[in-house]
A and B are shown apart, each in its own frame.
Chain A
Amino acid sequence: NAGVTQTPKFRVLKTGQSMTLLCAQDMNHEYMYWYRQDPGMGLRLIHYSVGEGTTAKGEVPDGYNVSRLKKQNFLLGLESAAPSQTSVYFCASSYGTPDDQPQHFGDGTRLSIL
């Protein structure tokens, strides 16, 4: 059982380049989330989705776009990478809201923007 799989695990980009981070879950979860983790700041929600074809902004959405064309996949895009986007990115999924079901996290993508 793979759970939540993030691709790639590491990436180095130059300022202005674009890239897409892929999150795939095999648990048939409705909810999916993208977070970034920065030292001393915990996890901050970038975007989330409550079902296939839906997306919504989180706490820090600027500079990112997302898509949920298939229920099992949630893509995070950086159109023009900036050094401030250097971070560790985590995807998570859940069957329902946190009151009912826990969020399951991937192992993270470490992204460096030079």
Chain B
Amino acid sequence: GDSVTQMEGPVTLSEEAFLTINCTYTATGYPSLFWYVQYPGEGLQLLLKATKADDKGSNKGFEATYRKETTSFHLEKGSVQVSDSAVYFCALSEGSWGKLQFGAGTQVVVTP
């Protein structure tokens, strides 16, 4: 079945450092791909998405490109802030029934 694999955390960075979180997926068809973010004590919220190969999703300085050839959707940000400390989830959706398959999540800690 479909699955999502993310790099394990926690990832600890200093403010203004470059962030990359790796995400690869397994799917039988052509899924849509998502990054959700969970700030401490809150529910998840959509950060960005891409619905077809070579699409780039972007939001709040974060970017991710849908790479079909490597089945990847890595999340990047050029200069992180303390406020970016959160758990980041990669997810995919295949089909029209509205279900998401989540990765295990990667905790990011940004220190001043």
Contact = CB atoms under 8 A, between A and B. Distances in A.
A42 B46 contact: no
A77 B109 CA distance: 35
A interface bracket (residues with beta carbon within 8 Å of B): 20 to 34
Contacts of A31: 98
B102 interface: yes
A61 interface: no
Interface string A93-111: 0101111001111111000
Contact of A90 (B43, B49, B51, B98): B43
Given A50-B98, A94-B98, A42 B45 contact: no
Nearest to B46: A102
Interface string A40-80: 11111100101000000010000000000000000000000
A21 to B, nearest CB: 14
A99 B44 contact: no
B100 A45 contact: yes
- What is the interface residue range for chain B against chain A? 20 to 34
B32 A98 contact: yes
Given A103-B46, A107-B43, A98 B98 contact: yes
A42 B98 contact: no
A92 interface: yes
Contacts of B93: 97-99
B53 interface: no
A105 B45 contact: yes
A4 interface: yes
B66 interface: no
B41 interface: yes
Given A102-B46, A107-B43, A48 B99 contact: yes
Given A4-B43, A31-B98, A107-B41, 14 more contacts: A42-B89, A43-B100, A45-B99, A48-B98, A92-B43, A92-B44, A94-B98, A96-B98, A97-B96, A97-B97, A98-B91, A99-B51, A99-B96, A108-B42
13 contacts: A40-B104, A42-B89, A42-B103, A50-B97, A90-B43, A97-B93, A97-B98, A98-B34, A98-B49, A103-B44, A104-B45, A105-B43, A108-B43
